[in-house]
Structure 1
């Protein structure tokens, strides 16, 4: 049976800029906020650590909350799309507030940090979860979903790379020696651009896959039925958890590794900037997935990520920068394949839940992606701290052999465990084998439902 027409290029780009916008603003929060709190705003590191822990607890409920809200939403714009309109500006405002420095007492600063950081975290979920939940409503064409997710990932990676490379020079240029001023104006600019782009996503996208369930609010008990025996969903959620656990342990100790193990802290920015090579893998993901399937393409990505880490272990042992650069490039090529497909496989699990259980619940099914990723990153952060503590790491000091091994374990070996567990889980992912029948059955079901109205 013929699939619907492809999504127009204007809509493809409008969908993709949503992830560019989120990364443009939230990458500043994720990468630089801890430094801002301790070295610019003057909050103690211990207080910041407690704040981040509390925020991860909040994350345990805010993802499913927004998923349930999406499934209860029924507007003339659709279920997911209106969230870009409603929350683009509040998200941008809280991004700016996070980097605002009111002249108040230390206890006041801590309260301010709690309100603004947890606020921006919740609002990030409000605009980010709909990016994934809207995908199965944009098209039911499997190849077009891969294309949409690929373009989205390309823009998302570009946004993250821009912030990685340009943030500190912007702070310096705007601040002229005053980092409080520099961070404020830099984030104001980035957050304003992000809000405008999210509104463009709202204006130019269309939820064209309309089903009987998508035209009404779904009770929580009913939406949870979409998860019953939805093994593809369970596998993707597990992968999202262990993958981001490994990625977080590596990203958090990148600066430590180059400062203490390699004795060249300046290399950290260069190595992080190499993530731009992931764009190559993102670009060829649709072609690769069409040829060997989505599961096998992601397996290829995990394999490359593991190989990159193994090469990295050689470079770390030899203290060889060229080997580390090669390892990083191989690793980023691998993660480029992975990141572009997670959203697509979640969209497929929405279809699978409807196919098996008769319930289409885009919100609750896709919201667990945010929850699992944040949970993995939170536990990854805890693992990082525990390993460094076991190795007797001491800040700004000459590190012992145990501390150097602890840094290396976080940078090399914990990510391998995450990638390896993900690869094993993928072996049990079987949706590619039934996708054609599933889509044909659902198209017949939707046509019958729409004709009966």
Structure 2
């Protein structure tokens, strides 16, 4: 490697305080939005008094809104040019509004059933839109933190480590906190639990704003990009298309699995207290998250992620046995295997999206971090929303009735959501990965881009 490239990588090295501040953003998002993704359907059906079918439709309608709000935030980022950068300001501007809507989503006014449905639509869609405003910048800022591919994997791995920790913590403590703070009143318990998590999340996101820096400066990053120009970054951007599809179908499966867990252990296992323990087994993912930088460097990002998908499928097949026999230890083992697999997946999605930003610039001459990465949040939330809708519809079709003994058909509906829908999501993701080819030419792409950025910066300084 020539001296200029070595100097670029040294100059753009991200030190540990900033790494931690960046990673903490995902911890904050998972801490607060984890309540929504894992427990909101249960809250709506078993505490707020809305039917599963209505909730499923709400989740689908929210996804239609995402078709607009995800790209909207991406375009806004591409049009943003401040002294703080392009992505960072959104944590400053929207952390507190997002926290407020988190609390409103779990607020239960004493109104009619129709009023509750309207309230649910307004607050859920509101928090969903605002989540994008603070979550999309986590991915869009990554290509601008450093141009070094290995450093990006490190940053994304640390981010995923923190994100998994945040998701695990809320999964473990949520229901016990609801019980303790509400003294048996689930409505009060969910409200107070959300209030605590929302305040913590806002503080952490503001810290991320204060302690990160956008270093990769190009002609595009110095000015607002017209929408038409931004969209050129997507032209023939096949790596982007593959990762966006994977992000959609992977999170569809994960959402059905996570949000129906409380139903599975409450009604199928007759041991609701197991929910926190089983969701807490997400900690197993930290083991594989930790080896992701080594594995991706040794075997390539695609092969590492593909291995994770196959391991997750194996775990879900083991889960099918556990669900059939209602054997707790088989279910424990299955959860551990699934989480070991997903640990190799989640962190690499952001890295491979950052690579698609580079690919768009390399092939089309346009670097549009906002529009390219905004589809990450859109596709993930769209997948989670469709997964939520599928869950609600399957439960309704099975005859689910909240807080009652369930029929055989409703128990089968719960099992279908917990076992089989995730398998389909993981399998389709694995097939899509076959078409991801960036690893084979990444070195040449990064070399060409480094030379391009040095040349452009030299021209700007004349």
Q: TM class, shorter-chain normalised?
A: over 0.9
Alignment of 1:198-209 (within 5 A): 198-209=205-216
Which moved further from structure 2: 255-264 or 193-202? 255-264
Provide the C-alpha distance between the structure 2 equivalents of 1:243 and 1:266, rounded to a whole number of angstroms: 27
Cα separation, partners in 2 of 1:99 and 1:415, compared to 1, 3 Å? closer
1:395-435 residue CA offsets vs partner (Å, 9 max, x unmatched):
533423x5444433332222222111111111111111111
Alignment of 1:278-297 (within 5 A): 278-297=285-304
1:219-255 residue CA offsets vs partner (Å, 9 max, x unmatched):
1111111011111000101111111122122223323
Alignment of 1:66-215 (within 5 A): 66-104=73-111, 107-215=114-222
Structure 1 residue 98, shift from structure 2 partner: 2.1
Does 2:40 align with 1:33?
Answer: yes
Normalised to the residue count of structure 2, the TM-score between the two structures is 0.92
Alignment of 1:435-446 (within 5 A): 435-446=442-453
Cα separation, partners in 2 of 1:22 and 1:349, compared to 1, 3 Å? same
Which moved further from structure 2: 225-234 or 32-41? 32-41
Cα separation, partners in 2 of 1:245 and 1:50, compared to 1, 3 Å? closer
Provide the C-alpha distance between the structure 1 equivalents of 2:327 and 2:412, rounded to a whole number of angstroms: 17
Equivalences, count? 452
Provide the C-alpha distance between the structure 1 equivalents of 2:383 and 2:251, rounded to a whole number of angstroms: 5
Provide the C-alpha distance between the structure 2 equivalents of 1:393 and 1:105, rounded to a whole number of angstroms: 22
Task: Find the counterpart in structure 2 of residue 298 from structure 1.
Answer: 305
SS across alignment from 1:432:
helix
Task: Find the counterpart in structure 2 of residue 234 from structure 1.
Answer: 241
Structure 1 residue 260, shift from structure 2 partner: 4.3
1:117-143 residue CA offsets vs partner (Å, 9 max, x unmatched):
221111100000000000000011111
Task: Find the counterpart in structure 1 of residue 324 from structure 2.
Answer: 317
1:333-354 residue CA offsets vs partner (Å, 9 max, x unmatched):
0001100100000000000000
Provide the C-alpha distance between the structure 1 equivalents of 2:100 and 2:394, rounded to a whole number of angstroms: 36
Cα separation, partners in 2 of 1:53 and 1:190, compared to 1, 3 Å? same
Cα separation, partners in 2 of 1:323 and 1:178, compared to 1, 3 Å? closer
Which of 314, 333, 338 matches 2:340?
A: 333
Provide the C-alpha distance between the structure 2 equivalents of 1:412 and 1:185, rounded to a whole number of angstroms: 32
Which moved further from structure 2: 356-365 or 107-116? 107-116
Does 2:405 align with 1:397?
Answer: yes
Does 2:233 align with 1:220?
Answer: no
Cα separation, partners in 2 of 1:311 and 1:365, compared to 1, 3 Å? same
Which moved further from structure 2: 8-17 or 406-415? 406-415
Provide the C-alpha distance between the structure 2 equivalents of 1:38 and 1:249, rounded to a whole number of angstroms: 15
Does 2:382 align with 1:375?
Answer: yes
1:171-219 residue CA offsets vs partner (Å, 9 max, x unmatched):
3333344444433332222111111111111111111000111111111
Cα separation, partners in 2 of 1:245 and 1:49, compared to 1, 3 Å? closer
Provide the C-alpha distance between the structure 2 equivalents of 1:338 and 1:213, rounded to a whole number of angstroms: 30
Provide the C-alpha distance between the structure 2 equivalents of 1:391 and 1:178, rounded to a whole number of angstroms: 28
Provide the C-alpha distance between the structure 1 equivalents of 2:214 and 2:20, rounded to a whole number of angstroms: 15
Task: Find the counterpart in structure 2 of residue 343 from structure 1.
Answer: 350
**Unaligned segments of structure 1, at least 5 residues:** none
Cα separation, partners in 2 of 1:300 and 1:111, compared to 1, 3 Å? same
Provide the C-alpha distance between the structure 1 equivalents of 2:130 and 2:89, rounded to a whole number of angstroms: 14
1:264-286 residue CA offsets vs partner (Å, 9 max, x unmatched):
44333321111111111111111
Which of 414, 419, 422 matches 2:421?
A: 414
Task: Find the counterpart in structure 1 of residue 435 from structure 2.
Answer: 428
Task: Find the counterpart in structure 2 of residue 364 from structure 1.
Answer: 371
Cα separation, partners in 2 of 1:236 and 1:115, compared to 1, 3 Å? same
Provide the C-alpha distance between the structure 2 equivalents of 1:319 and 1:178, rounded to a whole number of angstroms: 30
Cα separation, partners in 2 of 1:174 and 1:200, compared to 1, 3 Å? same
Which moved further from structure 2: 423-432 or 130-139? 423-432
CA RMSD in angstroms comes to: 2.1
**Unaligned segments of structure 2, at least 5 residues:** none
Provide the C-alpha distance between the structure 2 equivalents of 1:182 and 1:419, rounded to a whole number of angstroms: 34
Cα separation, partners in 2 of 1:117 and 1:413, compared to 1, 3 Å? closer
Structure 1 residue 315, shift from structure 2 partner: 2.5
Q: Is residue 94–residue 116 contact of structure 1 (8 Å, CA) maintained in 2?
A: yes
Q: Is residue 240–residue 353 contact of structure 2 (8 Å, CA) maintained in 1?
A: yes
Q: Is residue 175–residue 181 contact of structure 1 (8 Å, CA) maintained in 2?
A: yes
Q: Is residue 234–residue 360 contact of structure 2 (8 Å, CA) maintained in 1?
A: yes
Q: Is residue 41–residue 259 contact of structure 2 (8 Å, CA) maintained in 1?
A: no
1:30-49 residue CA offsets vs partner (Å, 9 max, x unmatched):
23334444554455655544
Cα separation, partners in 2 of 1:255 and 1:39, compared to 1, 3 Å? closer
